[in-house]
Amino acid sequence: MKKETLDLLFKQLNKINENSKIVIYGSTSLYLNKLITRLPNNLDISFLYNENDTLLDCNNYWQNFISNFNIKTKLIDSFLVKKYEVLFNNEIVVINCVMSKNIFKRHTIKINNLLVANLEYSYSSTLCQLFYFLSKDYIQSAFFQKEKIKQIINDIFEIVDKFNVFNSTEIFNEILEREYNFSFFNSNQNYFNIVKAYDKLWKIIPKYYKNIDKEKLGNLISIVKNIFENKSIVKKIENIDFIVLTKRKLIKYLISNYKKFDEQFKFWYEPQILDFLIVFGLIPV
């Protein structure tokens, strides 16, 4: 994204009525927090966490927000994940939002009158995002870009070089809790399982980042190890495994028995269960 476009985008965000609920995170929050110097490629937004908000509420917030832009393409438009291309300042800008990963207010700060994920949260979520980029779901997807993996690792290297590493157990626990809904509704695997075998990272990462600095890679693996050996974090990773397994069993049961439901409940018919499976990510739209 060009610097001019980014500056105009910030001005536009300040004008949006839903501004009080919108939280900027991802590479844009890294940039605004001066954790990285490169310009962000996309805009990642979330919403302030509110225990009373449903996924339907979050979808309504999204619709109110995105209506302020000239939408060109809806790359992903599921109930849980949005990835839209918009035309802004004669440039195509990608705006991403994951409905289930809302952020607590205590992990935000105001920068230029915008609500932004703070230093600690921005770094922590970036580290967790790396696990998704190393997953089969991303590597085998239409959106796979080897340069994206290299870029996020370089971002982490830059942050670690500049600042003390923010290894907040509280924040990582909260990120994993937000992952529960995402895993149930939108994923068939647990991306965080990659941290169970730290030694594999020595082989996995260089596949997508040729000639990586071995000392920096060692430091990165040490950071991951220190964070994810925490017992409460290990437990939450196991909880995600349980959620994914339970979801698979539920879907298998529904697929095998939907005709029984049809016999018992007249309102239950094939299009309904197909819609249900689509929502759960088992059948692509």
- 179-201 pLDDT, tens digit each: 777 777 767 778 777 777 677 78
pLDDT of residue 45: 93
Confidence at residue 199, expressed as pLDDT on a 0 to 100 scale: 72
pLDDT band at residue 272 using 50, 70 and 90 as cut-offs? low
Q: What is the CA radius of gyration of the chain?
A: 20
Tokens 């060692």 sit on residue: 218
DSSP state of 48: B
Give whole-number Cα distances, 19 to 26, 88, 89, 101, 113, in Å. Answer: 17, 18, 20, 17, 10
Amino acid identity of residue 161, one-letter, is D
Does this model's pTM top 0.85? My answer is: no
| Integer Cα distance of 40 and 208 in angstroms | 20
